[in-house]
Structure formats: structure tokens, C-alpha cells
Amino acid sequence: MKTAARLLLGGLAVLWLFGLACGGPKPKPDPVLIAESKRLASQGSYWYDRGCYDRAERYFFQAMETSRLLDDLPGMLRARNNLGAAALGLGRYDEAAEHLNKALELNRDVDSRSEASLIYGNLAGLAFKVGRAGEAESLWRRAIGEAERDKARTGLGLHLTNLGVFYRKTGRLAEARTVLDRALALAVQNKDVRGQAAVHVELGLIASEERDLTRAQQHVSVALDLDKQAENPAGIAYDLEQLGLIYQRKKQWSDAARELDRAIRLYGALADGQAVARVYGLIKANRAAGSSPGSLGPYERLLKASEGNTTSILCQ
Amino acid sequence: MQVSFSTMEKVVGSFILLIFFLFVGSAILVGQGQKWFKRHVSYFSIYKEGYNLAPGAKVRLLRTDIGEVTEIELTENNRVRVTFRVLEDYASRIRLDSKAAIESPTIIGDEYVNILLGSKNAALIPPGGEIPSKEQKKLSDYLEELDLEHKLLLVDEILDHIEIITDRLDDPDGGLFGTLNEVKRITGGVADGKGSLGRIIRKDELYNQIMAELKAVDGILAKIRKAADHTAGATGTVEAEMPVVLGRIQDILGQLQKISRQLEKAMQDVPEISQEARQGMRDVNEILDSVKKNFLIRGNLPPQPAPESHGVQVRG
């Protein structure tokens, strides 16, 4: 009797091992593919943070494909949102809308507040860029609402800063200052250096519109220091441009010429043709005021170089 | 009939059973690692040549191993048919517009079959079907990219030019020797009293008249004589140096022929060297793969940064 029981147990053990060998009830995802998917997404984020949107886009696209292979819905959602953000950075608004709407659809299954907050924020940025102000405001408010309900409050500071930009651009300076003060407190609390810089430059622009140029200069100078600390080339160029504008308003022509010269060169390195053209206009105005010595030749060359479809040297 | 076992027999029996279970367990664990128990789907592709591909080579999709090459055979119309099997889980990714390319990590690396994803909307390739192939780049293609052929043509053209120049120099009726013969003929005629100059020299009354008029231009004559001496000296030098120059050109051409023969021999050795390097690369790849999988090493590799979603920062 005992022998029969032992044989039965042995047989059951063998059967169990075979069952285990056949993969069990739930197949495990391929760890190599998971690692590859993570690597692609991280590479995309690396280039996105440096403003290299075309390079980031390629990685995000591959990350989406690997996530699809893994049936990883959160990964696909992240990749879709990031593809939308990259397309927005590249000025391809139709594509951005398509990616972001698909990300929203995916989030119905994933149901993540943090992702919803970022998608609504990006959709708001898109509406703002295409000139649909009312829609942009309501989408940012929705993004802020989602972020406030999220435990990690992902993107809250970013949305508040963007809403501050929107209010300033639409002349609602008091409301802008309120949301920006809140954004600054959050950025300081989270030790988000880039976020702090973005708020400071906006506060500087508000002060400039209120004709308090001393305060404006202080804010923008702080922003410049913070962007340098965060190694944010696009931010540094923007801060230098604003500083140049403030000096122009103060009629400090040579100081303005120095800052605008730095800004246009950095924009040139970033291959931002629109910004180069904008700063070139400011430099010409500065020169017309009579206090900007030197030739416009190098700037004209930069302008010509940035007209073509070039890639930033920082993205190579 | 009652069968009874002694204690020793029971111990030995248990030991044999234990060994058997251990053996079965090990086989199962190894099989699981090697995906013996996973279902595979076979496909095939037709190539112009085998590109050193061997049975057992990996099949990859998005840099992830999804199968292996099972068979390589020559078809009746002198093509190479590569049959491979792919894990059933990934078969749904292989579409009619997918491609199977034979690739290698480097020019001389370990070849594998890389499946290039097709579009989502394309129909699936049925099991056992043909995946359209994409031919591998050959060394000659890389050389073409380097434009080596053009450079060799240039060298060839230069050698042709050298040959034409030496032929011209060597020709007794043309170039240098032709001119020298002409000078010799003219001076011979003058000495024999032929032509205007010869006749003037040969008649005494004319000679005296000319001599009287020429006294005033003695200095000029002296200079002309000096110049003529120089010309004669230079011609002599050219005549003297010419065999040396021709000898050097012959030497150079001899050296070029020697180099060409050595180059030819070296090119014959290239496949052998390439084969050895390929084997070396294969060994190194295998070692690296094993090291990466080792549980002692695996844990100490730096972790990948976590993928993140991005929000657009609005400026301007």
C-alpha cells in the first residue's frame, strides 16, 4: 500500500514538473524584450530633455513597437504621449493630435491619473499653439484637476507654469502671478531646477509688462542661472533673449547687444530657425539705435544657415 | 506473492528514484531555458547567397531573439533557401510586407536573420510561408560606398599619363629628342655654308662689312654668346639627365607592379583572415552573453533609468 502511494506521489511530481515546463497557466514576458523596451524609452527621454525632438521621436516610436510586442499597455500609452509631445516640439500639430488622442483612448484601459494629467496638458499646449485659446485654458484646468487628484501630483507645476504663460499672453497678469507663485513653490519643494527657471522667466516677463524693469532683470537673471545649472540650452537661449530685450527697454544698447549676440549664437547651435530670425530682428533694431558696433555679417550667415532643414549640433 | 525488500534495497531504490527525478528536473529546466517546450512556427526566405549563415543562427525582431535558423539548402535555380522557426507568440507580428534580412552586428560579425516589421494593416504570412528577403550588404557594397573604385580609376589614369609622357620622351622623332635633332640639323647647315646665315658667313666682303658693323655691338654679342653657352649647357644637362630620369620612372613602375602583386595576394588572404576574425567575434559574443546572464554579474549591472512621460513646456 505504502509503495503504491509513493509511486503515485512520484508520478504526480513528474506530472507537475512537466506542467511547469510547458509554461504554466500564464506565460512570462520575455525579459530581454522588457529591457529593450525600457532602454528605448529611456533613450527617447534623454534626447527629449535636450530638445532633440526628432531623435527622441525615433526612440519613442521603437519603444511603442516593443511595448506592443509585450502587450504592455502602460508602455504603449507612455510612448504615444511622448510621440505627441515630440511631434508638438517639431511643429507637426496634426500628428501630435493623433498621438495624443490615441494616448487618451489607451488611458481608458490603463486608467492612470498621472498619464491623464500629462496628456491633457499636452493637448492644451497643442490648442494654445494652434490659437484655440479657450480650449487651451479649459484643457490646462482639466490637467491641473487630474494632477491634483493624483498622489504624486505629476505635472502639476508644469501645468501651472503653462497656465501662467497663457494668462500673461492674454493680459490677465494678476491671475498669471497667482498660478506662477504656486508653481514656483511646488518647483522649489520638488527641487525641480528647470521648473523654477521657467517660472522665474515668466515672472520677469510679467514685471517687464508692468514696466518694473529692475525686477524683470532680477527674475530673468535668476532664471538664467537656474537654466545653466540644469544644463538646459533652449532655456538658456530664451533667458538671454529676454535679458537682451530688457536691456533694450532700459536703453542699455551695448548690454543688449552682448546678450542678444549670445542668444542668437545659441539658437543657431540649436538649429532653431524661427528664434534666430526673431533675435536677428532685435539685433537689427539695436543696431539702428546706434549703439551696437560691428557687422551684421555673422548674424546674416547664421540666419541663412538656419533657414535650411538642419539638425542641431547638440543632437548629433 | 509477497515481495519484501531489505533496508539496503530500499535505500538503493530511493537513491535511484532520486537520481531519476533530478535528471528529469534538470532536463525540464534546461528545456525551459532553451524554449524546447514552446511552440514554434516555421517560415522560409530565399536569398542570392548564404552569407555565412549557419543552422542554429538567431532570428531577431527588434533586436530580440525570437527563433533560430533550422535549415539552409540550395534550390534548383541556384538560390539559397533559409528555413527558420519563430516562437508562436511572435508569429502574429510577421506581415506580408515584413522582410527577412541577413545582418551582422559588424561587417564581420555573427550573422543572424533580422525580421523587419511590416505594417499593422498588412495580412499575416501563414505558417510555412515565405517572408520576402532583403539581401545583405557585401564587402564590395561597402567598398562602393567608400568610392574605392573611383579612386583606383584615378590611379589608373595617372599611370596612363606617366606612360604617355615617357613614350613621348622616348620617341626619337618627337618631344625632346625631336627638338634636339632639329637644333643639330640647323647648326650643321650653318657650318656647311647652307641657307642665308651660312652664305653670309662664307662670303669675305660681306663678312668684313658685317664685322665692321658688329664692332659697335660687341657687348651685345658677348651677352648673346653667354646666353647661347648657357642654353648649350642646359641642353647638355637635359641630355645627360634623361637616362637617369627614365631609369627612375622604370624603377617606380617596377615598384608599383610589386605593390600591385602584394595587394593581390593580400586580397586573396582577406577571406581567411575574415573567417578567423568572425570565429573570434562569435566566441567573444558567446562569452559576453554568458557573463551577462550569470546571476553574480546580472545583479551588479547598472540599472536602466525608469521610462517617463513628458509634458510640453510652453514658452513665448
What's the confidence (pLDDT) of residue A99? 94
What's the confidence (pLDDT) of residue B216? 60
Identify the residue among B19, B87, B309, B315 best suited for mutation to test binding to A, counting A beta carbons within 10 A and taking the highest. B309
Interface touch B304/A128, C-beta < 8 Å: no
Check whether B159 has a pLDDT greater than 60.
yes
Q: How much is the average pLDDT of A302-311?
A: 72
Q: What percent of chain A shows pLDDT beyond 70?
A: 93
Q: How much is the average pLDDT of B77-88?
A: 91
- Return d(Cα A67, Cα A41) in angstroms, integer: 10
Q: How much is the average pLDDT of B143-163?
A: 71
What's the confidence (pLDDT) of residue A274? 84
Of the candidate ranges A22-26, A148-152, B261-265, B276-280, the one whose mean pLDDT is the lowest: A22-26
Q: Is B301 on the interface with A (CB under 8 A)?
A: no
Per-residue pLDDT band at A60 (split at 50, 70, 90):
very high
Q: What is the phi/psi pair of residue B64, to 5°? A: -125, 135
Q: Is A121 on the interface with B (CB under 8 A)?
A: yes
Q: Give SS3 for B68.
A: strand
Residues A292 and A244: beta-carbon distance below 8 Å: no
| Mean pLDDT taken over chain B | 75
Question: Do β-strands B80-87 and B99-103 pair in parallel, antiparallel, or remain unpaired?
Answer: unpaired
What's the confidence (pLDDT) of residue B140? 60
Beta-carbon pairs below 8 A across chains A and B: 101
Interface touch A118/B61, C-beta < 8 Å: no
- Contacts (Cβ under 8 Å, ≥6 apart) of A261: A283
What's the confidence (pLDDT) of residue B162? 80
What's the confidence (pLDDT) of residue B85? 92
Q: Is B37 on the interface with A (CB under 8 A)?
A: yes
| Tens digit of each residue's pLDDT (9 = 90 or more) over A33-46 | 888 888 889 989 98
C-alpha cell at A94: 496634426
C-alpha cell at B255: 615598384
User: A-chain residues within 8 Å CB-CB of B24?
Assistant: 14, 17
Residues B40 and B87: beta-carbon distance below 8 Å: yes
Q: Is A249 on the interface with B (CB under 8 A)?
A: no
| Nearest-by-Cβ selection for B63 from A17, A36, A238 | A36
Angstrom distances, CA of residue B57 to CA of B54, B71, B104, B111, B267: 6, 10, 11, 7, 28
Nearest to B59 by CA among B74, B70, B48, B75: B70
First-last CA distance in chain A: 77
- Contacts (Cβ under 8 Å, ≥6 apart) of A49: none
Interface touch B309/A81, C-beta < 8 Å: yes
Residues A57 and A79: beta-carbon distance below 8 Å: no
Interface touch A85/B311, C-beta < 8 Å: yes
Nearest to B129 by CA among B101, B102, B94, B103: B94
Check whether A24 has a pLDDT greater than 60.
no
Per-residue pLDDT band at A313 (split at 50, 70, 90):
confident
Per-residue pLDDT band at B136 (split at 50, 70, 90):
confident
Edge-first strand listing for the sheet containing B58-61: B40-47, B80-87, B64-74, B58-61, B112-116, B99-103, B133-134
Q: Give SS3 for B112.
A: strand
Of the candidate ranges A17-21, A190-194, A303-307, B71-75, the one whose mean pLDDT is the lowest: A17-21
Interface touch B64/A10, C-beta < 8 Å: no
Q: Is A120 exposed, middle or buried (0-12, 13-18, 19+ CB in 10 A)?
A: buried
User: A-chain residues within 8 Å CB-CB of B304?
Assistant: 35, 38-39, 42
Bridge-partner residues for B81, per DSSP? Answer: B46, B73
What's the confidence (pLDDT) of residue B62? 85
What's the confidence (pLDDT) of residue A193? 93
Nearest to B166 by CA among B235, B237, B247, B236: B247
Q: What percent of chain B shows pLDDT beyond 70?
A: 59
Q: How much is the average pLDDT of A182-198?
A: 93
- Return d(Cα B103, Cα B52) in angstroms, integer: 11
User: A-chain residues within 8 Å CB-CB of B63?
Assistant: 36
Q: Is A207 on the interface with B (CB under 8 A)?
A: no
Site of grid cell 629628342: B177
What's the confidence (pLDDT) of residue B307? 75
Q: Give me the helix-helix angle, A213-229 and A193-209, nearest 10°.
A: 160
What's the confidence (pLDDT) of residue B65? 86
Q: Is B61 on the interface with A (CB under 8 A)?
A: yes
Bigger pLDDT: B194 vs A224: A224
Residues B84 and B47: beta-carbon distance below 8 Å: no
Q: How much is the average pLDDT of B35-61?
A: 87
| Mean pLDDT taken over chain A | 87
Q: Is A138 on the interface with B (CB under 8 A)?
A: no
What's the confidence (pLDDT) of residue B235? 60
Q: Is A88 on the interface with B (CB under 8 A)?
A: yes
Q: Give me the helix-helix angle, A273-288 and A297-307, nearest 10°.
A: 160
Bigger pLDDT: A311 vs A73: A73
Of the candidate ranges A102-106, A171-175, B24-28, B259-263, the one whose mean pLDDT is the lowest: B259-263
Residues B66 and B113: beta-carbon distance below 8 Å: no
Check whether B270 has a pLDDT greater than 60.
no
C-alpha cell at A70: 509585450
Q: Is B134 on the interface with A (CB under 8 A)?
A: no
What's the confidence (pLDDT) of residue A76? 93
Q: How much is the average pLDDT of B80-96?
A: 89
Q: What percent of chain A shows pLDDT beyond 90?
A: 54
Residues B44 and B81: beta-carbon distance below 8 Å: yes
- Contacts (Cβ under 8 Å, ≥6 apart) of A262: A240
- Return d(Cα B217, Cα B220) in angstroms, integer: 5
What's the confidence (pLDDT) of residue A86? 94
| Tens digit of each residue's pLDDT (9 = 90 or more) over B292-308 | 556 566 556 655 567 78
Hey, what amino acid is at B3? V
Q: Is A22 on the interface with B (CB under 8 A)?
A: yes
DSSP string, A50-89: TT-HHHHHHHHHHHHHHHHHTT-HHHHHHHHHHHHHHHHH
Angstrom distances, CA of residue B40 to CA of A118, B69, B90, B127: 41, 12, 9, 9
User: B-chain residues within 8 Å CB-CB of A51?
Assistant: none
| Tens digit of each residue's pLDDT (9 = 90 or more) over B206-228 | 566 666 666 765 776 676 667 66
Long-range contacts of A147-150 (CB under 8 A, 24+ apart): A147/A113, A147/A114, A147/A117, A149/A113, A150/A113, A150/A114, A150/A117
| Nearest-by-Cβ selection for B309 from A23, A33, A78 | A78
Q: Is B92 exposed, middle or buried (0-12, 13-18, 19+ CB in 10 A)?
A: exposed
